[in-house]
Amino acid sequence: MNPTLRQMRAFVALAKTGNFTLAAQYMHVTQSALSGLIKELEQTLEARVVDRSTRRITLTDIGRELYPLFSQMIDDLDGALANVADHTQLRKGVVRIAAPQLMCCTLVPEAMAAYRALHPEIDVRVADSAVDNVIARVLSGESDIGIGPEREAIPQLQARELFEMPFALVFPEGHPLDSAKRVTWQDVARYPFIALQGQFTERLLADMHALLRDVPLKPANEVTFMSTALAMVSAGLGITVCLPYAQPLAQLYRLRMRPLEEPVLTRRFFVYTRAGRSLSPAAESFIDFLFPYVEEKRVLARLQED
């Protein structure tokens, strides 16, 4: 026995209305089509489910037994399909993002707010993490999306480049470098340098050693978060380098940010997702929104510089 969904819907409509005409209207089919579905159901079950008369129908014993079962099955299915439609049409959903702490103080909240203005029903959650924990959260499934700097490729991870930016020097107002026409990496080596722990500084020092062997760039302090480094710079304890997306936070600390030259070193940031894992419609939507949003921000920033 394998009754179809249309047959079950026709039977439930007939049981609810008690009338072929009303049930056909409810199903948006002709009365003859509805009658045909009931006959097909009875043939499939090899049993009568309704007794027909000229004025009304009554359920048979088997019909009365099947009605609550079919009705509940259809209600459950319709509820599940409505839930799927809510997700695919972005009327509900959750996006879980992991990003470095500095990015969570600047770019990410702005992107979240702009996205929520378009999709207010979507719940966007962010985990501010140490840089080296972003990928771990994506691989573990704790976060759907990771945004972070370039790392070694691994098979379980899918990476899409979000942007590439040059390093900038950050120093307090009134610092001797404030009056310089341009600032170089040689200038960085002349002052106490506050760096980040981990791969940020390791990669930076490796790049410097490869390009400028005579520049002894040695950190005076290494901290976990860039916000700490910026606070230390604001207190006059040294200078630091970061990427231009941190400009809003640097301004809060009343710091100056200048492009670094000789050489121009850049860092690439990627959107990371777990390979082989399908994202929710909400997460896919956020990624599709994020790329043009970041590009628009970069275009506006260049126009302001010009």
CB 281 within 8 A of CB 90: yes
Cβ proximity of 275 and 155 under 8 Å? yes
For tokens 């506006």, the residue is 300
Structure tokens at 38: 């009931």
Separation between Cα atoms, residue 257 and residue 260, nearest integer Å: 9
Give the global pTM.
Answer: 0.76
Domains parsed from the chain with CATH numbers: 5-88 (1.10.10.10), 94-164+268-305 (3.40.190.10), 168-264 (3.40.190.10)
- CA distances in angstroms from 252 to 106, 227, 230, 239, 247, listed in the order given: 11, 11, 10, 16, 9
Contact status, residue 199 vs residue 133, Cβ threshold 8 Å? no
Cα separation, 96 vs 138, whole angstroms = 9
Strand partners, 99: 128
| pLDDT tens sequence for the chain (306 residues) | 789 999 999 999 999 999 898 999 999 999 999 999 999 999 999 999 999 876 678 999 999 999 999 999 999 999 999 888 888 888 889 999 999 988 998 999 999 999 999 999 999 999 998 888 899 999 999 999 999 988 888 889 999 999 998 999 999 999 999 888 889 888 888 899 998 887 777 777 777 666 666 666 778 888 888 889 999 999 999 999 988 888 889 999 999 999 988 888 888 999 999 998 889 999 999 999 999 999 988 766 665 554
Helices H, strands E: what count in the chain? 12, 13
